[in-house]
Structure 1
């Protein structure tokens, strides 16, 4: 069970609030909560599953704040959500069945890779270019790509939102603001699966969840409402630098 000082309590609450907003604006907020949980004494596996569950309210707030942009995406939502459910379940099962030593060895690499993806987000958007209005989605590639992203999200999940928005921008032809809303919904779908699975079988620290969940909800809702006014690049690079630092620290610890 987590035991935190008043300073550690404040640290977690602020981390949850900022992470919820970052998820709504740029993606990658889980890379803030994960090291925060490590900092207050949780082992990596416990921190990962606790982080996954604590992020769920933030995704809910994000979807609530962008629900208007989801109108008219019914078919795309149904198909991508279906494969996301299966992929997230596969990722959760892999996390629970593989030895903890495998997770301990893989997670620093995942953190560093997620940080790289986060850093390359603007470059990917420029390479992708503007979506073509009226063009059809490349479902034959989009659905397998969403499945793989969901497997990653079920297993670890750091910067899942960045991976999803890059995938959707490349393979689904629509305005970015609408794809960003779909990204939030798919993140919520993946998080819902992890909540259901990890609640039953994983070493979740429920005190930490109780501290983080309300602030990620508030942060996600507010972040979605003011996404266009926040300095996305500043938030992005803060998350990137923190993720790189955490990845290197985990490698050194091993």
Structure 2
């Protein structure tokens, strides 16, 4: 490995380290890891697939944290897991089928959309907390809704947790911990099946995956402490600024 290649791996691993820490506190880490890989010169589709595979191991810790809630939502957990696996797989296949030139044009819009979702998370969470009683749309409709959210998650992924939290509100779930537990499992399934397909289809750059995966896991534990000391609001603002800046730069390059 040349010094230039080593430097590129260090940059990618640093982005993954920060992404892991940010994900453990505020979410939105993909808005750092994906643009970093694009900046390093990876094709957008390869960067997206590589980022998904590399960041996925860091999500395992959150599952353990919600283990007590899973027993309370066992019936929904089974069906939503199936829906998320199917949707995540379809999204990954859709990404594989998308022409590279088209995805390059979509990327600025996808990053901007994810950033807007991140900005809107506060008002969305406030609305969800205000809901009382069961006003669900029915499990069948909820599965269709979460299927489409999962397709987006398998295709790009940034902001999918916020979309899922909102979707679960329509199911009639009012307990925030149960919603967060299902969202964690949803993200694990969507990104997990997408990662498996990305690997099997040869869509990832292995020069970056392993160092980034290790860095993301370490960041989830190490950087999380720093992020908590800095404060969730500051971390969120940092992610929003990065997301807006990256989308602006990519829009300028595109047009």
Q: Which category describes the TM-score, using the shorter chain as reference length?
A: 0.7 to 0.9
Measured in 1, the distance between the counterparts of 2:209 and 2:217 equals 12
Q: Deviations over 1:119-159 (max 9, x none)?
A: 000011223333436x3754244222211111111111112
After superposition, residues 65-214 of structure 1 pair within 5 angstroms as: 65-132=65-132, 135=134, 137-138=136-137, 139-214=139-214
Report the CA distance between 1:192 and its aligned residue.
Answer: 1.1
Matched with 2:245 is 245
Q: Check the 8 A contact 1:108/1:251 in 2, yes or no.
A: yes
Report the CA distance between 1:223 and its aligned residue.
Answer: 8.0
Q: Assess, with a 3 A threshold, how the Cα gap between structure 1 residues 120 and 137 changes in structure 2: closer, same or farther.
A: same
Q: Check the 8 A contact 1:142/1:172 in 2, yes or no.
A: no
User: TM-score with structure 2 length normalisation?
Assistant: 0.87
Q: Check the 8 A contact 1:46/1:205 in 2, yes or no.
A: yes
Report the CA distance between 1:98 and its aligned residue.
Answer: 2.2
Measured in 2, the distance between the counterparts of 1:145 and 1:227 equals 33
Q: Check the 8 A contact 2:136/2:170 in 1, yes or no.
A: no
Say whether residues 1:19 and 2:15 are aligned partners: no
Report the CA distance between 1:33 and its aligned residue.
Answer: 0.5
Larger mean CA deviation between 123-132 and 223-232 belongs to 223-232
User: TM-score with structure 1 length normalisation?
Assistant: 0.87
Report the CA distance between 1:5 and its aligned residue.
Answer: 5.3
Structure 2: give runs of 5+ residues left out of the alignment. Answer: none
Measured in 2, the distance between the counterparts of 1:39 and 1:77 equals 38
Q: Assess, with a 3 A threshold, how the Cα gap between structure 1 residues 18 and 67 changes in structure 2: closer, same or farther.
A: farther
Measured in 2, the distance between the counterparts of 1:38 and 1:214 equals 20
Q: For the aligned residues, what is the CA RMSD? A: 2.7
Larger mean CA deviation between 109-118 and 156-165 belongs to 156-165
SS at the partner of 2:72? coil
Larger mean CA deviation between 218-227 and 110-119 belongs to 218-227
After superposition, residues 34-73 of structure 1 pair within 5 angstroms as: 34-73=34-73
Report the CA distance between 1:93 and its aligned residue.
Answer: 1.3
Structure 1: give runs of 5+ residues left out of the alignment. Answer: none
Measured in 1, the distance between the counterparts of 2:172 and 2:217 equals 28
Matched with 1:215 is 215
Measured in 2, the distance between the counterparts of 1:142 and 1:70 equals 18
Q: Check the 8 A contact 2:9/2:208 in 1, yes or no.
A: no
Report the CA distance between 1:111 and its aligned residue.
Answer: 0.7
Matched with 1:235 is 235
Q: Assess, with a 3 A threshold, how the Cα gap between structure 1 residues 2 and 99 changes in structure 2: closer, same or farther.
A: farther
Q: Check the 8 A contact 1:62/1:223 in 2, yes or no.
A: no
